Structure 1
């Protein structure tokens, strides 16, 4: 059974994959607009948005819904027997807990494995989009101060089910044989608390199957100190975010791609000049190859 692997080198951001067969990518790309590019370069930092206030407000709810479905499917999969009853009781209790599940205070920056995705450019149709590609080893060493994790996203119910089931087997290997749980001992609350904590780490990793082309990874920090939080107005909301400053003089950027727009040559020229004045190689800049136009 495949399980999520956790790999870390000294002082690096932790990487968690959905399968041991997955290779950690060497490069990941963050999509933003010109204002985002300016802030990232000039402040030498990334902004992590609260998961409950992402551009798609249903994104976190999708993770919760997927988790509920996975739990119900796990119940259907369990064989008949004493040990299976222990597992079933646990899963039923956790499924009930999910009805009042407290959404995790997770702060997220999103990355894709591809740097020129049409659906991403469409998201910036009303403004000039750019994609910033980072070298992953450099990214991991830049942002390790607040216990950040780089998490691979699992797409669709089948992938979520496989991933959650493997994590249960890894984190709670003794539960199926724990007769005490069936008898209702004081261990119940502790087991359920640990399980809810585990689910809180998984919910931000589940995405709808329709977004699978993004091959997304997420830089995540959970429950940061409140004195680290910033707020910015957007419409009628005050959006919480986290400034994640790099420990290095420059960010490990390997490319900046200009999204399709109405004046590509002028945009490319201006971005090259901006990067050069900030100490980056202007030759990092390249145009999108997609024919899409805003």
Structure 2
């Protein structure tokens, strides 16, 4: 809906939205983030929810975002129907409302595919870990800018709205400026896979000059950061803890961006609340959250990839202990080592380990090649030597 369309429908429901910025004339109306009881959460599938810790900005208390929010101490959790109240050490009270953090779509199918070359496959199996690449060193440098451009377009509507408080506009603007101008200081790492088992587009990228492989993984396995430091992890506001789908359709991206913005507006710290962290710290947290969500948007021309991602952020000195470095075509690039844990860690927000858990590879698909039989034999023997019982199959795709 455009601003003009919104204006034509504004007369009937403006009474529920008091004017918070009399100097503005736009009609964009913020909606509060979805809130659920614990009973609703455990029956609604896997979600990321929070009542914010005292170190984070607070969540809105009223049902309608009429005024600047108050704040409430609590916890942030990843929730699924598999966990029970007693597994949270008493942190949950069934009657308490929780704010659902806007997240990209979950992966519904039972397998995702990580495409790589021979060296990548050997390193993954030998180390039982994947490499999450720094966002600044991704192959497509415009990916990050595309997602941010969606947020910038939505911000223009918010900034002109008379229904959004000037302090909320200022907070959102500061978050957007940090996300746009200081992205190199926000360490974002991305692990990529695809919903497509046998993708010609992916094979062209990985088998042009060498053998290519697609590693079949269970998307329910929990991604964990592997580091010798015990307390590494990602920002408490990461929108998703696991594989999630990339959005390609412009209308889906706008909806996701507006949901994210509504959450940020509702979490604006009150400048008179002395119990909160400094404004700049709150901005840093939500700018990182905005950058993270930007990673789940790609131009529609890439839709054939059907990409899924795990996105991790490292914003503290402790988190930086987990970062390693390797040589790439783009110079010396930072990365995180990511293991996949098949245990049920759904109740944990930040999952980490000093040692990678045993890697469970479901299948290895050998890419198109004139020597595919030889490649299959080599992979089977290699996997067997590392006690991997994954099945090995060959691609039905041909370059010709």
The total of aligned residue pairs comes to: 276
How far residue 249 of structure 1 moved from its aligned partner, in angstroms, is 5.6
Unaligned runs of 5+ in 2: 1-30, 35-45, 49-77, 88-100, 227-231, 235-240, 341-354
**Equivalent residue for 1:210?**
301
Matched, 1:129 2:222: no
Name the one with the larger helix percent: 1
Q: Which runs of 4+ in 1 moved over 6 A?
A: 1-4
Matches within 5 A, 1:1-294: 5-6=47-48, 7-8=78-79, 17-19=103-105, 24-75=108-159, 78=161, 80-81=162-163, 83=164, 91=172, 94-95=175-176, 99-103=180-184, 104-124=186-206, 125-137=208-220, 139-140=221-222, 143=224, 146-147=232-233, 149-152=241-244, 153-173=246-266, 192-223=283-314, 225-235=319-329, 237-245=331-339, 250-281=358-389, 284-292=391-399
List per-residue Cα deviations over 1:201-241 (Å, max 9, x = no partner).
32222211122232322222211733332222234611212
* TM-score normalised by the chain length of structure 1: 0.77
Unaligned runs of 5+ in 1: none
Contact persistence 2:248–2:302 (CA under 8 A): yes
Structure 1 residues 34 and 208: alpha-carbon distance in aligned structure 2, compared to 1, 3 A threshold: same
Structure 1 Cα separation of the partners of residues 114 and 377 of structure 2: 21
Contact persistence 1:260–1:290 (CA under 8 A): yes
How far residue 244 of structure 1 moved from its aligned partner, in angstroms, is 2.5
Greater RCO, 1 or 2 (C-alpha within 8 Å, sep 6+): 1
Name the one with the larger strand percent: 1
Contact persistence 1:133–1:255 (CA under 8 A): yes
Contact persistence 2:134–2:334 (CA under 8 A): yes
Structure 2 Cα separation of the partners of residues 64 and 259 of structure 1: 34
Q: CA RMSD in A?
A: 3.5
